Chains A and B, each alone.
Chain A
Amino acid sequence: MTNASDSATIELRNVNKWYGDFHVLRDINMQVGRGEKVVICGPSGSGKSTLIRCINRLEEHQEGDIIVNGVELTQNVKNIDEVRRHVGMVFQNFNLFPHLTVLDNLVLAPNLVNAVPRKDAENLAMELLERVRIPEQANKFPGQLSGGQQQRVAIARSLMMKPEVMLFDEPTSALDPEMISEVLDVMGELADEGMTMICVTHEMGFAKQVADLVVFMADGEVIEAAPPTEFFTNAQNPRTQQFLKQILSH
C-alpha cells in the first residue's frame, strides 16, 4: 500500500485490546486510504471482527490510536458520535429492527440523527432500495424477507447516513449459499462507486475481484498484508499458505 498516513481515512497505530487476560488484538498497524477496499480474513477467533468493531467503537481498544476521518476515538462521546456518523456497518446477522417496516428501518436514523425531513429521507430510501434491487419490499417487515434481502436492506440502511466508510462484518456468513451472490453483487457495485470499505469475509472470490489489500490475521496479529494478486499466488508466511490451502481447497 502506497498511501502516506496523512491521506488515510482510517489509521490504526499499535492498537491493542484484551478481553480480561486474553490478548485479542496485538499491535495492529493499518492505514486505509480514501476509496480503498481492504478484505480481512483469517481463522475464527483471530480478532478480525473485533478489529473492525473497534473502528466504530462498538468495542473499546485499550492501547494505541484509532483515527477515523481525522477524528481520534477516545472516551469522548462526541468523537464517537462523529465517527459513527461517517462510518456505516453491516452485520453478520443483519440486525434490522424487526418492529419497523423496511422503509422505516431506512428512514429512522437520518430522520432522527441528521434531522432529514421524513419526505426527503423516504425519497432517498426508495432510491437506495432501488439500488439494492428490492424497492417492492419497502412496506414489509424484516421478518417477511429472505436472508439475502434482509442483508441488502441492511446495506441500504447504512448508506442512508451517507457514510464515507463502510465496515462489513462477515456479511454473507449467515446466508444460504444461493443468496450470497446477490449480496456480494451489491457490495461489488458499492466498491466500484469508490466507497472506502473494510470487509471481514471468507469470500475469496470477492477479495480477488474487489480488494486493494488483503489482510490475513491470526491470534490477534496481522500475519500478512498484500494486494490480492500477490496474496493469493505468493503468500510469504506459512500460516497464510496453510489457511489459503484450506479455504481454497473446496
Chain B
Amino acid sequence: MTSHRLISNAQTGASAARPAPVATSGLVHWARQNLFDGIHNTIFTLLCCALLIATVPDLFRWAIWDAAWTSANGADACKATTGACWAIVQEKYRLMLFGTYPYEQHWRGALVVLILGVMSIVSGFRVFWTKWLLVAWCVAWVAIFVLQLGGVFGLVPTPTHLWGGLPLTLLIFFSTVIGGLPVAILLALGRQSNLPIIKALCIGFVEMVRGVPLVTVLFMAALIFPLFVPEAMTPDKFVRALIGMLMFFAAYAADIFRGGLQAIPRGQYEAAEALGLPYWQKTTRIILPQTLRIVLPALMNDIIRAFKNTTFIAIIGLFDILGATKSALEDPTWVSYGTEAYLFVIALYFVVCFSMSKYSASLERDLNKGNTR
C-alpha cells in the first residue's frame, strides 16, 4: 500500500513468523551464485569439470606419480616409466645452467648469479635507494666481470666465447637494462630538443631500430658488422650482441619515456623555470621523477620482454640458458627427454618474469601512496 499523502505514516499489527533469509555467504551460496547461476552457466561449469577430470589425473600421474626423479644408470629409470623424466634435470643441470663454461669453474658462474640475485632483491627495497646502492652496484659489477672473465687473482681466464647458461642470460639482461635505460631517457629527451640535428638523430635512431626485427639487429651485430670493420677493431661477439640488445631495448623504452614526458603538464616545466632551475636540474628533479611514475607499468613490460629477448642470442651462437639446454640435449642418452628439460627452463623464466611483474605492481602501489592527484 502506498500512501500519497505527504505525512508520516506507520503501519501497526503483528508480523507473522517468516523463514530465515537465504544464506548470503558460505561455499554453497558462492557456488550457486557463480557456478550454477542459470542454465548456460551450469552447462559451462559441468563442461569445465569434465575437462579437469579428463586431464588433471593424467597430468598428475605423468608429472609426479610415475615420474623418474633420479636415474642412477644412464636413462634407464626414465625408459622404464611412462611418466616424466625429471632425472634429466638432475643429470644435466650444470650444462643447462652454465653451458660451455669450464666445468670446474662453474662455482664462479654460480657466484655471479648469486650476486645478481642478492643485488636485485636488495635494490627492490626503497629504504636502500641511496647513493650507496649505486656504489654497491658498481662494486658488484666489477666483481661479476672479474669472476666471469678470470685471468686475475689466480682465476683461470675464461674469455667471453666460453660464457653460457644462466650467468650469460642474466649478464646480457642486466647490461641491457642498466645500460639501455639511460640511453632511452637521453633519446626521449633528445626527441624534445630544440636543436633540430639532435632531434632528427634521436627520431631517426628510434624509428630505424624499431623498424626492424631484433633478430636482424643481432645478425647485423654478429655477422655483417665485422665485415666492414678491421678484425683488430671488432669487439668480441658478446659485446656486439650486447650492444645490439641494448640498442633494441633503448629504442623501445625511449618511446615509452617520450609518452611519459608528454604527459607532464606544461606548468611543471614553467614552475621549475620560474624558480630558476637550470635544464638538467629541472629535468632530473622535477620532470623525470614524475615521468618515471607514469611510465613504470609500460616500462616494466618492456624490461620483462628484454629478459625473454635474451633467448635470441642463441641464434648468433651464444649459449644462453635456452641455447645451453638445447646443446645439453644433444647427448643421445637423453635426447628424447627434451620436454622435461624445457619445462625446467620455462619454470625458471616464469619465476623471474613473474617476480618482476609482481614487484612492479607493488612499486606502483607504493609510488601512488600519498599522491592522490
Contact = CB atoms under 8 A, between A and B. Distances in A.
A88 B275 CA distance: 7
Contact of B277 (A56, A109, A141): A109
A84 B273 contact: yes
Most buried by A among B265, B272, B274, B285: B274
B372 interface: yes
Nearest to A154: B271
Interface stretch (B74-82, B158-166, B286-294): B286-294
A91 B270 CA distance: 9
Interface in A71-111: 81, 84-85, 87-89, 91, 93, 95-99, 108-109
B25 interface: no
B372 A89 contact: no
A58 interface: yes
A113 B275 contact: yes
Nearest to B285: A108
B230 interface: no
A123 interface: no
Interface residues of A, number: 27
Given A95-B268, A99-B290, A89 B371 contact: no
* Interface residues on chain B, size class: 20 to 34
A144 interface: yes
B320 to A, nearest CB: 38
Given A99-B293, A141-B370, A141-B371, A113 B277 contact: yes
A115 to B, nearest CB: 12
Contact of A98 (B270, B273, B277, B373): B373
If over half of B's interface residues share one DSSP class (helix, strand or loop), that class is named, otherwise mixed; here it is helix
A84 B371 contact: no
A84 B373 contact: no
Most buried by A among B265, B273, B275, B278: B275
B267 A95 contact: yes
A75 B133 CA distance: 41
A143 interface: yes
B276 interface: yes
B281 interface: yes
A146 B276 CA distance: 26
Given A98-B290, A98-B373, A99-B290, A112 B277 contact: yes
A20 B261 CA distance: 25
Contacts of A97: 268, 271-272, 286, 290
Contacts of A128: none
Contacts of B277: 108-109, 112-113
B58 to A, nearest CB: 53
Nearest to B288: A99
A144 B370 contact: yes
B370 A91 contact: no
A157 interface: yes
Contact of B275 (A98, A109, A140, A142): A109
Given A85-B276, A161-B276, A95 B371 contact: no
A30 to B, nearest CB: 20
A140 B369 CA distance: 11
B274 A58 contact: yes
Contacts of A93: 265, 267
Nearest to B279: A77
Most buried by B among A56, A109, A113, A143: A109
Contacts of B289: 99
A182 to B, nearest CB: 20
Interface string A51-84: 0000010100000000000000000000001001
Contact of B274 (A89, A112, A140, A141): A89
A143 B265 CA distance: 15
Contacts of A98: 290, 371, 373
B276 A84 contact: yes
A144 B368 CA distance: 12
A142 B373 contact: yes
B293 to A, nearest CB: 7
B276 A143 contact: no
A95 B271 contact: yes
Nearest to A88: B274
A141 B273 CA distance: 21
Nearest to B282: A112
A144 B372 contact: yes
A56 B272 CA distance: 12
Most buried by B among A84, A85, A95, A158: A95
Contact of B271 (A85, A91, A112, A143): A91
A53 B351 CA distance: 54
A157 B268 CA distance: 14
A95 B272 CA distance: 9
B267 to A, nearest CB: 4
A143 B271 CA distance: 16
20 contacts: A81-B278, A87-B274, A91-B271, A97-B286, A97-B290, A98-B371, A98-B373, A99-B289, A99-B290, A109-B276, A112-B285, A113-B275, A113-B276, A113-B277, A113-B281, A140-B370, A141-B370, A141-B371, A141-B373, A143-B370
Given A88-B274, A95-B265, 4 more contacts: A84-B275, A91-B270, A108-B275, A112-B281
Q: Which 3 A-B pairs have the closest CB atoms?
A: A143-B373, A95-B271, A95-B267
